[in-house]
Amino acid sequence: MADIIVPELAESITEGTIAQWLKQPGDTVEKGEFIVELETDKVNVEVISEEAGVVSELLAAEGDTVQVGQVIAVVGAGSGSTASTPAARPEAKEEVKAPEATKAAPVTEETTTEQDRTIASPAARKLAREKGINLSEISPVDPMGRVRVQDVSAHGSAPAPTKAVQAPAASAPKEDDGRTTREKMSRRRQTIATRLLEVRQNTAMLTTFNEIDMTNVMALRSRKKDQFFEQNDVRLGFMSFFTKAVVAALKKYPYVNSQIDGTDIVKNNFYDIGIAVSTEGGLVVPIVRDADRKNFAEIEGNIGELAKKARDNKLALSDMSGGSFTITNGGVFGSLMSTPILNGTQVGILGMHTIQKRPIAVGNEIEIRPMMYVALSYDHRVIDGKDSVGFLKTVKELLENPEDLLLNS
């Protein structure tokens, strides 16, 4: 018999949340096989079983907060059975005893097997039994097909719900009229909220704006994108242009690439650029290391790999630590203008926005040009208006003359 223990996650992480159990009581598990996924402040971690056997007990439910070193499951000896067999889940017999009042579908051997094969959390199975719902009929939100409690609740909510199903606890706020939905914040969302609030409270943050005529960089990209893809097997996007322009501007205005340590200003002599990526769990900022030493193809490749890891919850702590400056692109969602919030101890962040055609004065003529508003949020304790405006102006000039950017890189 072996205990499944929450492992050491990182120096600064002492607890996590059970995101989902990958094995259930009665399931066979091999040595080294993943048994549970933990959600931490920064990344999701899959925990393996150190021994082969059968899962005999789960000591924590999905959504529970667990501490490093805590025993969360027990694996016993034996061959067990797989999750797809009815014998693997004793509760399967209970699932088929749906009360008539719920008008559940007639139970047959075939529907019992379908329910057993459905991947669902213990809490979801319990709620489904209570409501007499066949798990195989539920359409989960999870792209992997796992049924959660909220999926069961949503499936079981009829247009005119009965009080027996909807009645809240005496101490709970009234939510039975459907006007509100209560959802617990994920651990990552709680951490994001706390850190953003700390930044707003502990920095003298200001934002300055400018706009970039994207005509030349769009034309260059259009001319070179096919050749670029053929030579590098990666697509040429705008992020590599912006990353290179930011690095050049940081070299010219080094205080924008710094941080405060007590009463000291620490200027970074490296250029590790964070690229904000939106995921279902919230915003994460993986780092493109040594961006000053990489060409356009290497930067685009790094960004693509990191974005995929972020969406697949495969980012490691090392992928997100130690950045010196951040770029965030609200334009992918259609944002025309925003004031981005500083990332951690950094003193500058560049916000990109959507490209919009607008009438612009070009010499003595009015022309329609593709324009982008850009925003630099900065910590005024370190950076004065001269450096902030100069930094943003440098980024603008380089992107409006991308040949200079290519020569400088």
Distance (Å, rounded) from C-alpha 28 to C-alpha 258? 52
Q: Decide if 380 is catalytic.
A: yes
pLDDT of 202 higher than 50 = yes
What pLDDT does residue 15 have? 81
Least confident of 66-75, 130-139, 246-255, 289-298: 130-139
CB 152 within 8 A of CB 133: yes
pLDDT in tens, 133-147: 887 788 776 655 667
What pLDDT does residue 96 have? 39
pLDDT of 100 higher than 90 = no
pLDDT of 86 higher than 80 = no
Taking only Cα atoms into account, the Rg of the chain, rounded to an integer number of angstroms, comes to 27
pLDDT in tens, 280-321: 777 889 999 999 999 999 999 999 999 999 888 888 878 888
CB 39 within 8 A of CB 17: yes
What pLDDT does residue 87 have? 37
What pLDDT does residue 145 have? 67
**Dihedral of the CA atoms 116, 118, 120, 122 (nearest 10)?**
-10
pLDDT in tens, 144-182: 566 776 777 777 554 444 444 454 454 555 556 788 988
Strand ranges inside 164-303, DSSP E: 205-213, 258-261, 264-267, 273-275, 277-279, 282-284, 287-288
What pLDDT does residue 142 have? 62
Domains located in the chain, CATH noted: 2-166 (2.40.50.100), 188-408 (3.30.559.10)
Strand ranges inside 204-286, DSSP E: 205-213, 258-261, 264-267, 273-275, 277-279, 282-284
With a pLDDT cut of 70, the percent of the chain lying above it is 79
Task: Show the DSSP H helices in 253-295 as ranges.
Answer: none
Maximum mean pLDDT: which of 63-72, 79-88, 164-173, 236-245: 236-245
Q: Which residue has the tokens 């450096």?
A: 387
**Catalytic one among 261, 292, 380, 387?**
380
What pLDDT does residue 183 have? 85
Q: Which of 245, 156, 204 lies closest to 347, judged by CA?
A: 204
Least confident of 44-53, 159-168, 252-261: 159-168
Residue 238 pLDDT level (bands cut at 50, 70, 90): very high
Maximum mean pLDDT: which of 108-122, 164-178, 190-204, 341-355: 341-355
**Catalytic one among 41, 272, 384, 387?**
384
Between 113 and 58, where is the model more confident? 58
Q: Which of 292, 318, 314 lies closest to 240, judged by CA?
A: 292
Q: Which residue has the tokens 């950094």?
A: 346
What pLDDT does residue 41 have? 65
CA 388 remoteness from chain centre:
29
pLDDT of 84 higher than 50 = no
Amino acid letter at 165? Answer: V
Q: Decide if 155 is catalytic.
A: no
Q: Which of 397, 396, 378 lies closest to 388, judged by CA?
A: 378
Residues in CB range of 120: below 8 A, 6 or more apart = 128, 135, 146, 147, 148
Residue 114 pLDDT level (bands cut at 50, 70, 90): low
Q: Look up the pTM and report it.
A: 0.63
Q: How far is CA 32 from CA 48, 49, 78, 121, in A?
A: 5, 5, 16, 22
CB-hemisphere CA count at 13 Å for 228? 18
